[in-house]
Structures are given as C-alpha cells and as structure tokens.
C-alpha cells in the first residue's frame, strides 16, 4: 500500500464508523433477490439507453453495482454498462479491456461470477470519492469468497451528467 493511500484509508475508516455502515463481522450482508440478478443479467443495454445521471453519488453507486455483479456469460454486457457510466481515461481503459478476447474466453471457460452490492461512498472535493462494496466471487460449483472492498474513484460533470473518470482498488492485491 502506498504512503499516500494509508491516510486516505484511515480517514475513510474513521468517517465510515459514523456513517451508518455496518461492521462486516456483526451480520451477514444482504443479497440481491435472485429475480433481480437474473433480470439485470438478461436485459441488454441499448446504445444511449443509460439515462443522464445528475448526482455524482448516484453514478458511483450505479458503477459500483455494475462492477461487482457479473458472470462469465454476461461479462461483455456488464462491461458495456460500465463504459456507459465512464468518461476520459477510464472509458479508454474499459475499451481496451473489452478488446482482450482471450481474457473473456478464459472467464467463460472458468464459469466465474461475482455478486455484490454497493455499500457506501465518502465524497471529497474535486470529484474524489472512496467507494465501499461487498463482493462474493466464485467459479460455478466452487464456494464463494466474500469480502468488503474499497475503491478510490473520481467523477466529473459532462454534457450527459456525472460520469466516473477514475476507479482503482485501494488494496495491494
């Protein structure tokens, strides 16, 4: 972990304790209903169908939800949803990732999936934010591994509303 990230994570931990976020060890995370997961996985995202997002917090919540909920069969669809919420260098990176067909094929063979939820955000000046998610990742037939994750994010106002311009894990792994 970099020396610059440590103070941010410490500040996040202090702020999160008073924001109504739950202790990850005190109770099980809420899961999305199976019907909602199935519908989001089957519903295509047509070009231009993503509504303008006026709130930076709202776009971060939508981006986090798309980021953590995918399966090998729906990965291309989920990444298209991420691209619709991104702009700038992040959008360029997402396009490059989508071009890596071998990576997608490997995930399809492994039958990997991820299910999770957006937990909360701490907003800062300049569009910066710390986003917390709960994620369970597994291959089909394998047991899932669940954990809370922290991402450093940034948003920017565009003609289409707020968009995510930066999204990176705040962990060493």
Q: What whole-number distance in Å separates Cα of residue 32 and Cα of residue 134?
A: 12
User: Residue 47 — very low, low, confident or very high, per pLDDT cuts 50/70/90?
Assistant: very low
The predicted structure's pLDDT at residue 96: 85
Average pLDDT of the chain, as a whole number: 73
pTM: 0.63
Q: What whole-number distance in Å separates Cα of residue 74 and Cα of residue 114?
A: 11
Question: Cβ–Cβ contacts within 10 Å for residue 39, how many?
Answer: 10
pLDDT in tens, 4-29: 555 555 455 444 444 444 444 444 44
Q: Is the pLDDT of residue 161 over 70?
A: yes
Q: What is the set of domains in the chain, with CATH numbers?
A: 5-20+53-169 (3.10.450.230)
Percent helix, strand and coil across the chain, each to the nearest 5 = 40, 30, 30
The predicted structure's pLDDT at residue 86: 94
Q: What whole-number distance in Å separates Cα of residue 85 and Cα of residue 113?
A: 21
The predicted model gives 100-114 an average pLDDT of: 65
Structure tokens at 172: 């060493």
């Amino acid at each position: 972990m970099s020396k610059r990230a440590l103070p941010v994570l410490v500040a996040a931990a202090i702020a999160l304790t008073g924001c109504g976020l739950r202790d990850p060890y005190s109770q099980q995370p809420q899961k999305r209903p199976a019907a909602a997961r199935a519908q989001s996985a089957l519903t295509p995202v047509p070009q231009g169908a993503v509504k303008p997002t006026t709130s930076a917090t709202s776009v971060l919540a939508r981006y986090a939800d798309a980021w953590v909920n995918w399966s090998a069969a729906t990965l291309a669809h989920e990444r298209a949803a991420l691209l619709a919420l991104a702009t700038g260098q992040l959008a360029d990176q997402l396009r490059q990732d989508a071009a890596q067909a071998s990576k997608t094929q490997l995930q399809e063979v492994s039958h990997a999936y991820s299910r999770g939820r957006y937990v909360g955000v701490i907003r800062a000046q300049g569009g910066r934010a710390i986003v917390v998610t709960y994620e369970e990742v597994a291959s089909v037939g394998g047991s899932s591994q669940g954990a809370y994750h922290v991402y450093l994010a940034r948003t920017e106002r565009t003609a289409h509303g707020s968009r995510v311009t930066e999204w990176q894990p705040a962990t060493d792994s």
